[in-house]
Every structure is written in structure tokens, then in C-alpha cells.
Amino acid sequence: MPRTAVVTGASSGIGAATARHLVAAGLDVVLGARREERLAEVAAECEEQRPGSARWHRLDVTDPDSVTTFVENLDEVHVLVNNAGGALGVDPVERLDEDGWRWMYEANVLGLARMTAALLPRLEASGDGHVVNIVSIAGFDPYPGGGGYVAAKHAARGVTGVLRHELLGRPVRVTEVDPGLVETEFSVVRLGEDDANEKVYAGMTPLSADDVADVVRFAVTRPSHVNLDRIVLQPRDQASAQHVHRRDG
């Protein structure tokens, strides 16, 4: 029987790409996100790749009841990809938006922790569990205007590191994936501008969602005794959060 992977934030971007890559690698997937119509579309794409490989349920990781309902629909789970999260705004700390910071902490930190805690019994019972947390270089590389997002991703890295220690000796691997600039809906949502991607990625070539998903696929298909603790990937045009090479014109 194929292993089963749960992917959060799976309605678009890295989550959707990860679902497709895992199905291609022979895993079945259970997809969760808030946007049900788009979630159903991603699941249908996976089903086209391999019939019977995908199903979905609505999931809001910031809502404990939603997490509970989602998990109740699951049986055996081998892999959890905590991808749900995001950023809001670029205001400096002195003009912090507390509601925005609170949402970022809920989505990027507590949501990750909720899903992991809820699924750990199933992951461990599988005999070969794997938690993959999609974090960010923002988790170790601060930058002006990052405020709440940088703080949340630092916390997400902290949770991931603690989890790796707590699960030592148990059959569950923990992998942290830290992407740099990736062209998805991330900047559009963060800035609230339809043309945000044109501005953020002007003059450089960012990573794609498939680039990140390919790394996740590699991590979860290693032999069960091999744990990739932390994977950092950035575009060739990026050296750090603040150092990006942009071509003129």
C-alpha cells in the first residue's frame, strides 16, 4: 500500500506543487486548506496523475476545531507537510499591526504545532513517520519590514528543533525546509497588490513552487534511517534576505 502524506496549505503554491510531486513519487495525499474550490482542483490534478491517490478536506490551521475535524477524517498517516502560513504587511516594528502579527503567529507557529501534535500518534504508529516543516530563510535571516513574519518563522524553527530532540529514538523524522524567494501568491497576499510579484521579483529569477516541492519529495523518499534535518534553498540570484542580484532592464 502507498504511504499517505498530509499537506496543509495545499490549495496553491508550494502546497499544491508538493501534493503533485508526492503523488508522482508514489504517495497518496490528503490535502487541506481553506479555499475549497481550489483545493478540489488540486486534488483532481493529482487524481489525473494517479487515480485514487488524492482526497481533500477543508482545513484552517488557525482554528483548533477545524484541525480536530480534519484529523478525524484520517486513518494511517506517514508524512505531514506543514506548509500552511504566510505573511501580512511590511510595516516596521514601531508601527506594528497587532492583528496581523497575531494571525502570522497563529498560522505559522501554532498551526504547525497543532497539526503536528494532532497527527503524531498516527505518524508514530506508521513505524516510519516524517514531519516536514516549510519554514523560510526569514527564520534565521532578519530584514527590515519583516517584523511579525520574521518573528513567527524564528518561532517555527524553534518548534522544529525542539521536536527533533523530543522524537529522538522514535520512528518519526523531522525535516526543516527554508526557501528564499519563491514566486507564488505569497507577495500578492502580503502586500495586497495584484502586481506585487512584478515588483518583488523584478530583474531576477526566483525559485518556483516546483523547485521547493522537488526538495520535499527528495527528503521524504530517502531511506527511513536517513533524516535531512535542514535544507536551505535560494535562487542563484539571492545570497541572503537583503542581498539579491537584479539585472538592469
∠ CA 157-129-79 to the nearest 5 degrees? Answer: 75
The grid coordinates listed for 217 are: 519529495
143 is catalytic: no
Q: CB-based contacts of 65: which residues, under 8 Å, 6+ apart?
A: none
* DSSP 8-state code for residue 133: E
Residue recorded with cell 502570522: 104
- C-alpha 5/C-alpha 123 separation (Å) is 10
- C-alpha 163/C-alpha 110 separation (Å) is 14
The grid coordinates listed for 224 are: 527511513
Residue recorded with cell 505531514: 80
The residue type at 193: E
105, 143, 149, 201: which is the annotated catalytic residue? 149
114: buried, middle or exposed (CB in 10 Å: 19+, 13-18, 0-12)? buried
Long-range contacts, stretch 187-193, CB < 8 angstroms, 24+ apart: 189/86, 189/87, 189/88, 190/86, 190/87, 190/88, 190/89, 190/90, 190/149, 191/89, 191/90
* Residues labelled catalytic: 149
